[in-house]
Amino acid sequence: MVSSGRKKRRGFTLVETIVSSVILCGSVLAIGAASTRALSYTRLNRQYEVAASLADRQLTMIDYFGIDSFIESGQMQGEFDQIGPGYYWKVVTEEDEIDGLYIVNIKGRIQA
């Protein structure tokens, strides 16, 4: 049996280890960035959901009291205290060309 001068070595070379480490770090960074972006979109979606719910609540209140008594009350803006600080609303009404109809615009604002 002829033996060569080189022994067969098992394991990875330094270059292979560095390349695999770079690939692993890049993958971890990409997953972290995607998770951060997903969390910010979730927070934004939650704010939209709360705003839609508050606008619906305000429209229900206007419908319950009636638009005429709501306009007479004079409170056309305020803060939603039940949810927490920073949630504001403003109602702008205008009478439509057809008698008895109003255009009601509700604007919500979330102050962070």
In a domain? residue 40: yes
In a domain? residue 49: yes
Instruction: Report whether pLDDT(62) > 60.
Output: yes
Q: State both tokens at 95.
A: 């009478």
Q: Return the closest-CA partner of residue 63 out of 50, 55, 98.
A: 55
In a domain? residue 5: no
Contact (Cβ atoms closer than 8 angstroms) between residue 71 and residue 91: no
Q: What is the mean pLDDT of the chain?
A: 84
Instruction: Report whether pLDDT(34) > 90.
Output: yes
In a domain? residue 96: yes
In a domain? residue 25: yes
In a domain? residue 6: no
DSSP state at residue 72:
H
What is the domain count for the chain?
1
In a domain? residue 26: yes
Burial class (CB in 10 A: 0-12, 13-18, 19+), 47: middle
Q: Return the closest-CA partner of residue 77 out of 103, 106, 104, 112.
A: 106
In a domain? residue 8: no
Domain that holds residue 90: 14-110
Instruction: Report whether pLDDT(92) > 70.
Output: yes
Helix (H) or strand (E) run with residue 15 in it: helix 14-65
